[in-house]
Amino acid sequence: MIPGEWLARLGARIARKETFEHMVSPAIADMQFESRLHRHVRWRHCLGLVVVLTRAFLHDLRLDVATVVDSEARRVAWKNAGLWFLAFATLFTLAGLRDYRAHEALKLDGLWPTALTSAGLAAAIAAVQPGMIAAVVYLYRKSDSLRAVVMVILTVAVLTSAFAMLVRPIRMSANQQIHNAVSPRAGGHPDELNPLATWWQAIQSGVQVIPHALLGIVLARRRGWNLAFTIPQFFATWIILIAVLRDYLFGDLTVPAITYQRWREIALNCLVAIIWLSYDGVKARLSAPRGAAGTTPPISR
């Protein structure tokens, strides 16, 4: 391999195209030119190249942050994500309240505000997932850097877990009141009253954002009817995968604890998203011009 070729590939992955051409490529070219000199000179240039790669990464990171918070991103991506979040939060809240209507004790004891608190907070956490799909679709199409999208995904995942941790005592208190009012046997799932289980569920709330964001990337690569047809295909893949895992690998996938069920759901969603992303990658390689894939970016002085 030509000296510096693997560094060129690494630099092309770390830096944007313009940053690579103006900052990283000249440094690699200098290192290649002086590769026949004394070892100390080569090591000095290697350390200098590390500094250049670090500066290039920080430079592009600043551009990535500006890309996801500029006026166009706020007007298109975050506005649409907010609308999706509000719509699903309302829907999930109504669905959660519907489960309480069968219990007359809530109405008699005046616990409907408590039930609304419990259902509303759970809905607000769950609605982040469809909102994240909408945000990723718009940001992925707008930005020329996948790193910017990944940064947004990880940030939203951390903030979701942090919010779930913050409201965890409020939800547990509301669920405990509902449990005591209805009866210990019918008022709620034991995991909703278990401090350790609710702690893990708060962590899972953020982790669940990641597979939904990956689905957003899959959808962002499609438009029109192709996008519409991908959604049922995604669910079909999920169902087929469950059937295969249940019948041929793990047997019955039914797990009694909600915490374990959510980990299983996260793993399955990630696996389905990875399958679709791999399919897109293979399709792109097959459709690319011969010799275009896997080439090393040019290095210029």
181: enclosing H helix or E strand: helix 146-182
Cα–Cα distance for residue pair 126/114, rounded to 1 Å? 18
Mean pLDDT over residues 94-107, rounded? 67
Average pLDDT on 244-260 reads: 63
Which of residues 186 and 163 earns the better pLDDT score?
Answer: 163
- Rounded Cα gap, residues 16 and 170, in angstroms: 45
If one compares 131 and 45, the residue with the highest pLDDT of the two is 131
The model's pTM is 0.76
Q: pLDDT tens, 112-126?
A: 788 888 889 999 999
136-172 burial: b if 16+ Cβ within 10 Å, else e: bbbbbebbebebbbebbbeebbeebbebbeebbeebb
| DSSP line for 90-140 | HHHHHHHHHHHTT-HHHHHTT-HHHHHHHHHHHHHHHTHHHHHHHHHHHHH
The predicted model gives 182-209 an average pLDDT of 77
Return the domain boundaries, the chain.
5-63, 70-287
* Range among 45-54, 161-170, 220-229, 278-287 rated most confident: 161-170
For residues 23 and 186, the model is more confident at 23
CB 123 within 8 A of CB 96: yes
